[in-house]
Amino acid sequence: MDIVVYRFSIDRMLAGLARKLLILGHDTYLRTENDTLRAFLTRALEEDRILITTSVRTYNIFKGSKRYASLKFILARSEDPHKLLEGLVGLGFNFERELVLKRCTICNYPLEEVKDHSCAEVPEYVKRKFSTLWYCRSCGRYYWPGSHYMRMLKSVERYIES
Ligand SMILES: [Zn+2]
């Protein structure tokens, strides 16, 4: 079965959910302070993203507008990321293990596997311990399966398909 990378647009009050979706490896745009409502809706429509918000006002604008008729919209009843992830699983979303931590949790950019350990930014003990690192070309961060990784993995473990 093909692994599906979902595309989400997440409203600002759901930043906790956005972070977990990024850890799960899905393409997740978090609305910024500068995004007007119109810009936020338009981006989701143009980039074929599933928009998730708790804002009834936003929902009413979406419902009342022909322009956004084809937008995929989820009105969340909670800001709790765990409740929301359970809800997404209930709606039929599958979160595959292969995608976990394959995306930068800061800038939503796919990570590249790095075997060359010449990078100066990574501590020596990490280079000795892990043969594979992941690199974000957008922000220059390196990721490795250390304790921070394991904590992130644990926080989403129960939603991953097994
Ligand atoms: Zn990054």
Q: How many angstroms separate the alpha carbon of residue 67 from the centre of ligand 1?
A: 33
| Å from CA of 43 to ligand 1 middle | 20
- How far does CA 130 lie from the centroid of its chain? 25
Residue pair 75/54 in contact (Cβ under 8 Å)? The answer is: yes
Nearest CA to 153 out of 25, 9, 28 is that of 25
78 phi, psi to nearest 5 deg? -145, 155
Q: How far is the CA of 140 from the centre of ligand 1 (A)?
A: 6
Look at the block and give the residue holding tokens 């936020």. 40
- Residue 86 CB neighbours (<10 A): 14
The mean pLDDT value for 123-145 works out to 90
Give the residue extent of every domain in the chain.
7-101+147-159, 111-144
Rounded to the nearest angstrom, the distance between the alpha carbon of 37 and the centre of ligand 1 is 25
> Domain 7-101+147-159 belongs to what topology?
Rossmann fold (3.40.50)
The reported pLDDT for the residue numbered 115 is: 82
Q: What is the pLDDT of residues 33-86, one digit of tens each?
A: 999 999 999 999 999 999 999 999 999 999 999 999 999 999 999 999 999 999
Beta strands in the chain (DSSP E): 7-10, 27-30, 50-53, 72-75, 112-114, 133-135, 142-143
Q: In this structure, what is the dihedral angle of CA atoms 49, 51, 57, 63, given to the nearest 10 degrees? A: 60
Distance (angstroms) between ligand 1 centre and the Cα of 113 equals: 14
pTM of the predicted model as reported, rounded to 2 decimal places: 0.92
Q: How far is the CA of 12 from the centre of ligand 1 (A)?
A: 19
Q: What's the gap in Å between 143 CA and the centre of ligand 1?
A: 10
